[in-house]
Amino acid sequence: MSHNKRVELSRRSVIKGGLLLGTVAAIGLMPIKLLRAEETVKENAEPKTKKQIGFSYDEAKCIKCENCVRICQETYKWETDAPWRKLLRNEKGDALSMSCNHCADPACAKVCPVNAYTKRESDGVVIQDSSKCVGCGYCLYACPYHAPHIQKKSGAVSKCHFCYKLQDSGSGPMCVGVCPTQALTMGDMKELSQKGNLNYKGLPNPKITNPSMIAIPK
Amino acid sequence: MGHWGWLIAIYLFLGGLGAGAYLTSFAAEKGFLGKKTNLNQVGYYVSAPIVAFGALLLITDLGQGLKKPWLIINMFLNFSSVMTWGIYILTAFIFVAFIKAFFVWKKRQAPDVLSYIGAILALATAAYTGMLLAVIEGVPFWNSYLMPVVFVVSALSTGLSLTSLLAHFFEKQHQVHEERVSQVHLWLVSMEILSITAFFALIYSGSQGAVAKLSANLLLTESLALPFWLLLILAGLVGPLVFYVQQSRCQKKAPLAMKEQNLSENADMPAGVNQGASAKSQNALLLCDGAVMVGGLTLRCLIVFAALPVWNGLLS
C-alpha cells in the first residue's frame, strides 16, 4: 500500500517537474523576439555626436606593407602583444588594417567604472586616459573588436586615439598619412557610411556598437 | 581566454555567498525557516566579512589600480557602468551588514529598517554579480537576462548551506533540525536546476548567436565538461536534490510513525534507532551543504572561464 503510494507520488512529481521545466524553457525563449525588435530600432538611431569621423579601408588598394602598424607603434611605443593597430590576414590572402573603431555607441566607455573613456563631441573620437585606468579589464570584455589592451608594464589599458592631437592641429592620423596607396583613409562617417560598413569577413555585427569604420572588400 | 580568472570567479562566488548568508539569517529571524531556529545569527556575522574579502580579491586583480590605489576611489564615478553600481551596492551592504551584526552580537534589537535595507542590499549584491556579466554584449554566453537569475538562486542556496554548516559547529547549545530548512533548500536547489536548464535552453535556441553555443559546448561536452557534470550538476545539484527529497519524505512519515508508536505503546524501542539514524542523516546533511557550496563556486568559475568573445579576432 505504502509502496504504491510512493511510486505514485514520484511519478506525479516527475510530471510536475517536467511541466515546470518546459514552462521555464518557454519563458526563457519568449522575449527574444521583443529584444530583436528593440535592436532594429537602435540601428536607425541618430548620430550621437555633432560630427563623427572614421576610418575607411579599401582592401583592393592595400599592399600589406604594414607601414600603418609600424608608424603607430614607433610613435606611441605600445607593447607588441597589446597593439593599437593590427593588420589582420588569413590564408586566403584577405587583409584588414584595424584599430579602435571609435564607435558611435562605445561599449568600453559605457562599462569603464572610472570614466577613463571620453567620446569627443567635436569629432566623435573615443579617447582613453591611461592615467585614470585601474586595469580592471572590464572594457576588454565589452569591446567586440579587441581594441583596448592592458599594457603589461603599466598595468593600464591603452588604445588608439585617432592621433587626436594631430587632428586638433589640422592634420590626419599617422597611419593614414603613411599609407602609400591610400588604402587606409579617414573621413566623415556621413559620407563613408554611404560607401560601405564593417560587415566584413567574420567581424562581429556592427549593430552592437556602431563602429566608425568601413571596409571595402576586393 | 579572457582577462579574468580565478580571483574574479571567487569574488563573484563570495559576493553571492555573503549575500545569501545574510538573507538566510534574515529569513530565520522573520520566522520563515521554522519556529525554532539556530540560523538567525551566524549568517549576519559572516556576511560582511565574506563580501569584504571578495571585494579585496577584486582589488588584487586590478592592474594599475594596485600600484596606484588612490585611483580606486574613482570607481564610484561612472553611473552607466554596472561595475560602479556594484561598488556602491557592495560598500553599502558591507556597511549595513556590519552594523546589523554588531546589534546581533550585543543582543540588542536592531531597527527593523536596518534589517530590511540590509536584505534589499543583499539581494542587490547577489543580482549584481550576475548583472556584471550579463550586460556584456561582447561575450554572448554571458549576455543573457537569465544570468542574474541563476546567480541569485545559487547565492541563496550557498548562503543557506554556509549558515547551516556554521550553525552546526558554532551554535552547539541549541541544535535544532527544522524540516522547514530542508524544504526551503529542496525548493532552492530545484529552482537552480530549472534556471540553469532555462539558461542553456535559451542559448541553444540560437538567440544569442553561434559563439554562445560554442561557450555552452565547452561546458556540456568539451574541455570544461568534467567539472560541469561532476562538481556542479552531480555533486552540487542532483546529489543535494535527491537527499532533500528523501529528507522531506522521511519527515512526512515521521508523524505517522509516532502515532503508530503510541497505538502499540512501544515507546522505548525506536529511540536508540532514531538517534543513530539522525546522526547519520546529520552527517549527510553537512556533506550536502558542503557540496552545494562546491557547486556554487564551480558555477562561477565555469561561467567566467567559458567566456568566448563575440569575435575571435581573426578574418574568416
Cα A124 from Cα A106, distance rounded (Å) = 10
- Report the pLDDT averaged over residues B288-304: 96
**Does any domain span residue A196?**
yes
**Does any domain span residue A48?**
no
Residues A170 and A130 both lie in one domain: yes
Output b/e per residue, A15-52; b: 16+ Cβ within 10 A: eeeeeeeeebbeebbeeeeeeeeeeeeeeeeeeebeeb
**Does any domain span residue A35?**
yes
**Does any domain span residue A79?**
yes
Q: Across all residues in chain B, what is the average pLDDT?
A: 89
- Report the pLDDT averaged over residues B238-266: 72
- Reduced to 3 states (helix: H, G, I; strand: E, B; else coil), residue A61 is helix
- For an interface test with B, which of A42, A92, A141 has the most B Cβ atoms less than 10 Å from its Cβ? A141
Element at A104 (helix H, strand E): none
Terminal CA-to-CA distance of chain A, rounded, Å?
78
**Taking a C-beta distance cutoff of 8 angstroms, is the pair B143, B216 a contact?**
no
Residues A203 and A157 both lie in one domain: yes
Question: In this structure, what C-alpha cell is assigned to residue B204?
Answer: 541553444
What confidence tens digit (pLDDT) does each residue in A176-212 have?
999 999 999 999 999 999 999 999 889 999 999 999 9
Instruction: Supply the pLDDT for residue B61.
Output: 92
Which residue in B has a C-alpha nearest to residue A95's C-alpha? B315
Q: Which amino acid is at B262?
A: N
Q: How many domains does chain A have?
A: 2
Write the DSSP symbol of residue A85.
S
Instruction: Supply the pLDDT for residue B136.
Output: 95
Quick one: which of A179, A198, A176 has its CA closest to A187? Answer: A176
Quick one: which of B207, B203, B219, B309 has its CA closest to A202? Answer: B309
User: Which domains can be identified in chain B, with CATH numbers?
Assistant: 6-305 (1.20.1630.10)
- For an interface test with B, which of A48, A134, A201 has the most B Cβ atoms less than 10 Å from its Cβ? A134
DSSP bridge partners of A98: A86
Residues A146 and A176 both lie in one domain: yes
Residues A33 and A59 both lie in one domain: no
Report how many Cβ contacts below 8 Å link chain A to chain B: 154
Which residue in A has a C-alpha nearest to residue B5's C-alpha? A137
Residues of chain A with C-beta less than 8 angstroms from the C-beta of B83: 111, 113, 136, 138
Residues A133 and A30 both lie in one domain: no
Residues A59 and A149 both lie in one domain: yes
Residues A143 and A184 both lie in one domain: yes
Residues A35 and A90 both lie in one domain: no
Give the least confident one: B103-107, B159-163, B269-273: B269-273
Give the other-Cβ count within 10 Å of B151's Cβ: 29
Residues A82 and A120 both lie in one domain: yes
| Domain span at A202 | 53-216
- A210: domain CATH number? 3.30.70.20
Quick one: which of B78, B209, B76 has its CA closest to B138? Answer: B209
CB neighbour list of residue A1: distance below 8 Å, 6 or more residues apart: none
**Does any domain span residue A74?**
yes
Residues A179 and A128 both lie in one domain: yes
Separation in Å, CA B259 to CA A4, B269, B274, B307? 21, 14, 15, 56
Question: Does residue A8 register a pLDDT over 60?
Answer: no
Which residue in A has a C-alpha nearest to residue B82's C-alpha? A111
Residues A132 and A203 both lie in one domain: yes
- Report the pLDDT averaged over residues B68-75: 94
